[in-house]
Amino acid sequence: MSYPKWPSEVMLRRKNREIISERLRWPDGALQACVALEDRHPGWQVSWMGESATPGFERPAGFHASYRDEDEVFHKPEAFAPTAEELEPLLVEVPEHDYRTGGCAWCFARLA
């Protein structure tokens, strides 16, 4: 018996983000910008976030990115910018390393 192939993690995340973008009424072009940035910068996950006025968490609306390696481990590098064009230069190539071993110098340097 042959079973259908499961979609990749990337495809599942993209479909979920598509549903979220519809429900949260992201601005026109935001979803396409996220996909394009991820295609050009593998490992980075990009999303659009609305404005937050919550005390201590204030931020303008814009694009947020976090880095996830091939083993699905989140790393400390994160980036935020009001536009996709401003975010792209922040999506640097992340060297191969293992944050799980108590931290790595590269990730901690990004926090400084």
Extents of the domains making up the chain: 9-111
Residue written as tokens 């694009």?
63
43-61 pLDDT, tens digit per residue, is 889 999 999 999 998 989 9
Beta bridge partners of 52: 59
Q: What residues contact 16, with CB distance under 8 A and at least 6 apart?
A: none
Q: How far is Cα 47 from Cα 66, in angstroms, rounded to an integer?
A: 9
33-46 pLDDT, tens digit per residue, is 999 999 999 888 99
Section 58-85 average pLDDT: 81
Taking a C-beta distance cutoff of 8 angstroms, is the pair 64, 49 a contact? yes
* Per-residue CA distances from 75 to 37, 55, 104 (Å): 18, 26, 10
Dig out the tokens for 60 from the structure: 């303008």
66-75 pLDDT, tens digit per residue, is 887 665 555 6
